[in-house]
Structure 1
Amino acid sequence: MTDEPSPAERALYLAAVRSGGRLIPEDLTPADRPAVAALVARGLLTPTATGWTAANPRVRGDRLGHELRTRALGLLLHAERLPGVLGPLVHAYDAARHPGGAGPGDGSALGPGALGPGAVYPGPGSVGEAADARRRISELISECREEVLAAQPGPRPLEGLRMALPQDLSLLRRGCSMRTVYQPVTLSDPAVLSQIALRTECGAQVRVLAEPYERVLIFDRAVAVVPADADRGRAAFLTDPSTVAYLVAQFERDWARATPAGRHLDPPPPTTVRIGRLLARGLTQRAVATRLGLSERTVAAHISRLRDRYGAQTLFHLGWQLRGERHD
């Protein structure tokens, strides 16, 4: 199955949306069955007791986009490592072609300069263990002159934030900018929030994105640090300009879609939370009002507060934002 829905699947999904977001077996012909099965497999239709409900396509698109970007980043990391892996072979080849003399690979074939920007060698372009990675990141923060960009998914360790605070504040006080994207789960810990506030008071900017994204640190748009393996036990330091530019573009995309952290700091009332959970499950405003025994006007007021909180322009966008937060 390809990544994109077929024309028949698109037509059936649009028919479901026009029918209030629902399909029932009586609406279908035998020829529609393969398209229904494909839409369910893609996560665009959700089976219910009476038929199927149209799911938010943005959620599917975000997840698929995340998978593709992760795959692309893996290929970039492989490309970064390849010159270092082949370095000894290049050296042997050049030595064989130029025996006893200074050939193209002699003296520099194994040196950092010969491997090119972002290649694998000690320092930027290398893969190091956790302690080495932390030490190198600390050096990069000290050397930073313009900006730090950080995408930090998942919960943030409080102790790590406390240890990094003096260096982060020093960076901000010398005029560097710091922009960080967190997921909503980060803001559920008051102690972590206090650490974030200490940085924002000195000029750091923080936004929250209820979507999946990869961890990355970018220093002066020249060096990017990303996880080097699936368990995040090691870090890769990338300096190839095209690779760093790609990661900067991904960060800017996420930053533009994120909402200011201030909208997430004060917890909403319990009724608002319940309404948000029902919206995230795909219920309409009227269905939410019926389920909770509230008037539609009351539900609309709560939804308005939620839309302001998440920067959502439409109810559809709000449901997508809430669904992303619900799965963090």
Structure 2
Amino acid sequence: MTDEPGPAERALYLAAVRGGGRLRPEDLAPADRPALAALVARGLLTPTATGWTAASPRALGERIGVELRNRALCLLRYAERLPAALGPLAGAYDAARHPVGSPPPLGPRAVEPRSEGPGAEAPGTGARGAGDPGAGTVGGAAEVRRRVGELVSECREEVLAAQPGPRPLEGLRMALAQDLSLLRRGCSLRTLYQPVTLTDPAVRSQIALRTGQGAQVRVLAEPYERVLVFDRAVAVIPAAEDLGRAVFLTDSTTVAHLVAQFERDWARAAPAGRYLDAPSATTVRIGRLLARGLTQRAVAGRLGVSERTVAAHISRLRDRYGAQTLFHLGWQLRGEHHD
């Protein structure tokens, strides 16, 4: 039983505490029986010869914490194994879609040439760009994200990304796992940012997580157009000024032109290393201790500092690694070298 006690269980437990830590049968109403059974099952009440005795909630919290952490570790390990386990199926799927000798894949739902007749559209792609048989407009931010996510998942060699302006932190966090998976399977990821993007420490931390796995980032202090290019076969650009709609391009001449623009901007851009601040030595050491499994209090005792100081360093580490919880942070730091 790993869920939290409900209101009836809490009330009955508090009644036992107010009664000196003991609960007698005559103290119970018939309606208390389900809460009593649940408290006994949780270990918060221990049966005795004369009734029940209250047990420490801390012990329950530690036990449930261990159970949840073990369960989370199993899920994380499963998540890491799953892509490899599905590899043979993915290979068969790719082979069926793109037999040997066929043109290279154009990504999920690649837009086919326009059918004959004015105004004809391919199913599911929306309106087409005039005169460009490889263009398809997708409306709706959720649908655009889904299509781009599919392209990232099926990318085989390279992603080029020109991202002007500030970057939404939540979007970077949501895309982190997919970006790291892309890098781990050997694909190249090159991204252009403007200096304003790197003014946010949390965004810098997200970018550093990617560069730590081999992504390349440069900063260009001048205007440029937003574009994503996958395997130099599919390009994605905003539909006019509306970032909630995007045009997916597969025409080889158009894509080559966008790649040439990206390479021109990339050559003029500066490496982003100086923007990505390294954490302090104390922050690094706290991270290593957390990766060993030490609690915040234990880390404070080991280093001889206050828990508030440790909490401040942990906050910076959580921003840097995009970790939502202390356990998640420890998992993210598991590959660091320890003292």
Q: Taking structure 2 as the reference length, what is the TM-score of the superposition?
A: 0.44
Q: Taking structure 1 as the reference length, what is the TM-score of the superposition?
A: 0.46
Which structure has the larger Rg?
2
